[in-house]
Structure 1
Amino acid sequence: MIRTSPDPVSDAPFVDCVIEDERWEGIDLPALACEAAAAAFAHLDLPGAWEISVLGCDDARIASLNETFRGKGKATNVLSWPSEERAPETAGAVPEPPEQDGDPELGDIAISYDTCLAEADAVCMPVADHVRHLLVHAMLHLLGYDHETDADADLMERLEVEVLATLGLPDPYSK
């Protein structure tokens, strides 16, 4: 297990990484997770001592998690479990930010090395860039954003693109 945070005295979120697949160490998943979290929370103007757990695993583990929690017995790139429901009732609405004086735990993320690498290779993208995108995507899920409706998807994708731009990354949705 690796515990890391970008700066323990800053307002950046604290990221607790658990590395089950040692291949994640080759691209420094903890640093990528801290970078993605800091960028997402800064862009959304969400200061505070928020806590996020990230599991770096392989396809077998994420397929098991996907089956257990979503009834889908196949590997996926990333999964997220918010600590509480934060989604707004109206499609396309911005979720209320988490309470500053509440529980700092926002939720958990699992990300599969195998699927991330395959997806990045398929579009000739550096795997670290793809991982940053998926982590930003998952962190937005922890904050109540979703893509179940077109309006929700438009909002979430726009935010992802804006956050990624702050990291110097291109729009992953442009073809």
Structure 2
Amino acid sequence: MRNDDNTFKLYDPENTLSALQFDFDHALNITSQRIQAPLNIQLNIIDDPTMMQMNNQMRGKPTATDVLSQPYDKNMGEIFICPSFIKNQGYDLNRIIYLFIHGMLHIAGHTHDHDHDFATMRDHEIHILTQLNQPNPYHEDF
């Protein structure tokens, strides 16, 4: 698969992700290779009130959360990440990398509703994060 089959857009109005110095396009390409399909992803960095409103609309939960994925078409969708929620949970901004991978896998159709699905998604996440030289979130606090 050619890397230019993938598209990535970023909405980060406060330039929050600049502190990460992370190549999101590279992560998109590795994830695309792992699932063997191109991805069209927009990553949106949002605040707590916006996340709370979206979580209520999308999942009927009137609280903020760390990440939401909104698939639109096959392997196409938006990921919404809330850095302030992540920080309030005791994680640093590197957690965004894991949540980005997690969100892309949801857009690609993966779930963690059942043990087998969880195991498959976790295996994909660990493989992709290893390729990106990122820690395994299932064995380390990061």
Of the candidates 14, 20, 24, which is equivalent to residue 16 of structure 2?
24
Work out whether 1:142 is the aligned partner of 2:135: no
- Aligned CA distance change for structure 1 residues 51 and 144 (closer, same or farther; 3 Å): same
- Aligned CA distance change for structure 1 residues 77 and 161 (closer, same or farther; 3 Å): same
Letter in 2 for 1:13: N
Indicate the residue corresponding to 2:7 in structure 1: 14
Cα distance between partner residues in 2 of 1:157 and 1:12: 25
Work out whether 1:156 is the aligned partner of 2:126: no
Cα distance between partner residues in 1 of 2:54 and 2:35: 29
- Aligned CA distance change for structure 1 residues 148 and 167 (closer, same or farther; 3 Å): same
Letter in 2 for 1:41: S
TM-score between both structures, scaled by the size of structure 2: 0.84
Indicate the residue corresponding to 2:69 in structure 1: 80
Aligned length: 139
Letter in 1 for 2:11: V
Gaps of 5+ in 2: none
- Coordinate RMSD, CA, aligned: 2.3
Aligned-residue identity in percent: 25
Which aligned segments of 4 or more residues in structure 1 are displaced greater than 4 angstroms?
none
Cα distance between partner residues in 2 of 1:117 and 1:23: 16
Gaps of 5+ in 1: 1-8, 85-97, 99-104
Does the 8 Å CA contact 1:23/1:113 hold for their aligned counterparts?
no
Does the 8 Å CA contact 2:76/2:107 hold for their aligned counterparts?
yes
Cα distance between partner residues in 2 of 1:51 and 1:143: 10
Select between 110-119 and 147-156 the one with higher mean Cα deviation.
110-119
Deviations 1:70-89 (A, max 9, x none): 110111000001114xxxxx
Deviations 1:101-149 (A, max 9, x none): xxxx611111101022334xx35xx523x11110000000000000011
Cα distance between partner residues in 2 of 1:25 and 1:146: 26
In structure 1, the residue corresponding to 2:62 is in which secondary structure? Answer: coil
Indicate the residue corresponding to 2:93 in structure 1: 127
Deviations 1:25-70 (A, max 9, x none): 44368x5532321221122232x4x421111111111111001111
